[in-house]
Structure 1
Amino acid sequence: MCEKGVDIYKLKDFAGHNNIKTTEIYLHLSKESLVQNIEWADALIGKALSSTEMVHELAY
């Protein structure tokens, strides 16, 4: 459900947990989801680094 966009706090309530930490113990993302998140972060970091490099080039 989390991979489909359901908020972890809604999952906590759905599971009947009193504490979000309990929900986190049982929350496991699929390998595909983890890979997608890493690819997204890499792209975001790459974009930020290239923007920073452009600013430095224009400054000099």
Structure 2
Amino acid sequence: MQPGAERSGTLEEVEKRRIIEALNSTGWRVSGKNGAAEVLGINPKTLGSRMQRLGIQRNKPR
């Protein structure tokens, strides 16, 4: 794998990966203090819209 290859891909793929990384680092907290929206520096409603557009959903435990 080339250096930086994990960061390559389409803009949509990179955006999806970054959002998932932020969600994982915050325990899937979308909004509020230390939520993914704050980490990413965007409005929580914007993050919710992007998650919906990109098909990002938390897997519910069985």
Larger Rg, first or second structure (1 or 2): 1
Q: Which has the higher helix share?
A: 1
TM-score bracket for the superposition, by shorter chain length = 0.3 to 0.5
Q: Could you tell me the TM-score, scaled by structure 2's length?
A: 0.33
